[in-house]
Amino acid sequence: MNVTSIIAFIFVFGVLVTVHEFGHFFVAKKSGVLVREFAIGMGPKLLSWNRNHTAYTIRILPVGGYVRMAGMDEEPDLDAGQRLRLTFNEQGKVTKIDTQIDEAGIGVPFQVDSFDLSDTLILTGYSDNATEMTTEHVDHDATIIEENGVEVQVAPRDVWLQSAKVWKRALINIAGPVMNFILALVIFSGVGFAIASVGLNEPIIGTIQKNMPADQAGLKAGDEITQIDRVKTTTWDQVANAIGNSKESQLNITVTVLRNGHKKQVEVRPKTVKINGVQTKQVGIIEKTHTDTISRLKYGLINTGATISQIWHALSHLFTGGFSLEKLGGPVSIAKTTSSVAKTGFLNILIFMAMLSLNLGIMNLIPIPALDGGKLILNLLEGILRRPLPQSFENAVTIIGAVFMIILMIAVTINDILR
């Protein structure tokens, strides 16, 4: 891969992950859930900053991202006996807990004996070499500087993910895939405005090529093709497929059109041509195109819907047609395809991004526990039972799902490299 391809891959993957995770992040914030970290990339952090109680980090590996929300499955923020450095506000409450005691900084040294940062929000321990134990009250919005340098907010129980109503948690889980669908719609609509004119997949002839079979048979621009032989046509794709797949032994095809409100049948003899080494048939007609604003917006909707349909068909065939790793592609395959697309121009990179975005959104809705779809199933079960599911059960199915996904990703990546 050259530099351009690498930049294109990072751009495509970065935008997809950012948009997906932003969906979870935005709805979680609106639902009152504390988002402790919004990370783009995986592995060691390259850049970090804090705003509105959330740590934003950019990490070194551009292969994913995550939104870390506060919840009961988190590890304890502190350890008994740990040395800290505390910063207080004017009311005497702790506003910052610095665990990087060995590095230069400001604050009062404190050795913690016990703590509760979920309910009572207190720290008990010894302050600045004092011999008597004291209790310090922690502000609801206090922050902790972790050992890796990331500053995150403490997590009182009322801002835990599990404290949100089940319907809010369901919205948080589905928000990521929804943002992927929105991104694809925006891109396809943008492409509609970027090109000279757009086709809306209508079975209407826009242009007749001179001296081609359609011209010789008397077809005209504006004719609406309703049937080819015995195949009814309601889209331009159906028209193209019916003509291209007509039998070799068949000299003529019967094209039924609507012209000025009247039905007319025309006999056309397709011409056999080779396109990229593949033999097909053509009659010399071009789809009707539009230049108005409404049509350009429709173009975005139509292409989004058509791509979703294609992905769904491929996904269903993955299971009904026999599972095979050859039908899947991981980061290596995506990087290779991105490299090829990058050579064809920025517009095609955007179209490829839209298709990947829809793939990501649909794949995340598969009911596997580690994915958003699996979490939605757990939300549904909780809603039906009208009580929280046992945390041990949720953790167990999530771990099983995560292990399955990790194994699948490793297998797909190895297969991508081998081929």
Q: Are strands 224-228 and 151-153 parallel, antiparallel or unpaired?
A: unpaired
* Residue 21 annotated as catalytic: yes
Catalytic residue among 21, 37, 151, 287: 21
In SS3 terms, the chain reads as CCHHHHHHHHHHHHHHHHHHHHHHHHHHHHCCCCEEEEEEEEEEEEEEEEECCEEEEEEEEEEEEEEEECCCCCCCCCCCCCEEEEEECCCCCEEEEECCCCCCCCCEEEEEEEEECCCCCEEEEEECCCCCCEEEEEEEEEEEECCCCCEEECCCHHHCHHHCCHHHHHHHHHHHHHHHHHHHHHHHHHHHHHCCCEECCCCEEEEECCCCHHHHHCCCCCCEEEEECCEECCCHHHHHHHHHCCCCCCCCEEEEEEECCEEEEEEECCEEEEECCEEEEECCEEECEECCHHHHHHHHHHHHHHHHHHHHHHHHHHHHCCCCHHHCCCHHHHHHHHHHHHCCCHHHHHHHHHHHHHHHHHHHCCCCCCCHHHHHHHHHHHHHHCCCCCHHHHHHHHHHHHHHHHHHHHHHHHHHHHC
* Distance separating alpha carbons of residues 213 and 195, to the nearest angstrom: 29
Residue positions annotated with a catalytic role: 21
